[in-house]
A and B are shown apart, each in its own frame.
Chain A
């Protein structure tokens, strides 16, 4: 089954404790991206990757890191989480080409609470 998976789905942590949220896709997509969803703000893009070893900042990159060492994986790293990073996080992927039907496929989401 074609899908984007994220782990963990739920995480409660404390301020300053480094954490990683994993994202993996099995569709051979070139493009992957991370978003956070907050009430009243919609989705905001954190980082994206156009291909292996190629990443760039979205609109809200502060406090986050990413890496793309393999095509299928795109982990999101919070080196020192703070309470304002409490949010619902989505990973997404797409072919990243100009095809009419190209659209992003979203993972199930990770609900993160930072105390």
Chain B
């Protein structure tokens, strides 16, 4: 049974600093997703990672995937206040089931 664990659950960081959110999954999954959720809002897709060694970047966010370690990371570079949100990773089990992590609530302090 596929399980997804994220850490940390909460992250408070200063503007301008770098940090990484980790997403571990327990069994084979053919793709890994990252989503962002602003308070009181819906989820917005950030990245889809398909293969081992995949790396995608959008602005100050970079996501990577290591399928052998069953680990994905979301790296934040030089954080700004606008990045404050909850970030979820999700893995796909089979073709149609999705398992989400519990989320990482990020707060960027000025």
A69-98 interface bits toward B, Cβ cutoff 8 Å, 1 = contact, 0 = none: 000000000000000000000101000100
Among B35, B98, B99, B103, which residue has its beta carbon within 8 angstroms of that of A33? Answer: B98
Task: Tell me whether chain B's interface is mostly helix, strand or loop, or mixed.
Answer: strand
Measured between C-beta atoms, what is the minimum distance from B79 to chain A in Å?
22
Of the four ranges (under 10, 10 to 19, 20 to 34, 35 or more), the interface on chain B belongs to 20 to 34
Q: Which of B13-21, B43-51, B61-69, B70-78 contacts A (4 or more CB under 8 A)?
A: B43-51
**Cβ of B88 under 8 Å from chain A:** yes
Instruction: Enumerate chain B residues within 8 angstroms of A96, measured Cβ to Cβ.
Output: 95-96
**Cβ of A103 under 8 Å from chain B:** yes
Instruction: Enumerate chain A residues within 8 angstroms of B99, measured Cβ to Cβ.
Output: 45, 59
Instruction: Enumerate chain A residues within 8 angstroms of B102, measured Cβ to Cβ.
Output: 40-42
Instruction: Enumerate chain B residues within 8 angstroms of A102, measured Cβ to Cβ.
Output: 48
Measured between C-beta atoms, what is the minimum distance from A58 to chain B in Å?
6
Given contacts A100-B50, A108-B42, contact A42 B103 (CB under 8 A): yes
Measured between C-beta atoms, what is the minimum distance from A9 to chain B in Å?
11
A58 to B48 Cα, complex, angstroms: 21
Taking a contact as CB atoms under 8 Å apart, the answer to whether B101 and A42 are in contact is yes
Instruction: Enumerate chain B residues within 8 angstroms of A105, measured Cβ to Cβ.
Output: 45
Taking a contact as CB atoms under 8 Å apart, the answer to whether B43 and A90 are in contact is yes
Given contacts A43-B88, A100-B48, contact A106 B96 (CB under 8 A): no
A90 to B37 Cα, complex, angstroms: 12
Taking a contact as CB atoms under 8 Å apart, the answer to whether A101 and B48 are in contact is yes
Given contacts A105-B45, A107-B42, contact A45 B101 (CB under 8 A): no
A92 to B92 Cα, complex, angstroms: 14
Taking a contact as CB atoms under 8 Å apart, the answer to whether A104 and B45 are in contact is yes
What are 22 A-B interface contacts by the 8 Å CB criterion? A31-B96, A35-B100, A40-B102, A42-B102, A42-B103, A43-B88, A44-B100, A45-B97, A45-B98, A45-B99, A48-B97, A50-B95, A56-B96, A59-B97, A92-B43, A96-B95, A96-B96, A102-B48, A103-B48, A104-B43, A104-B98, A106-B43
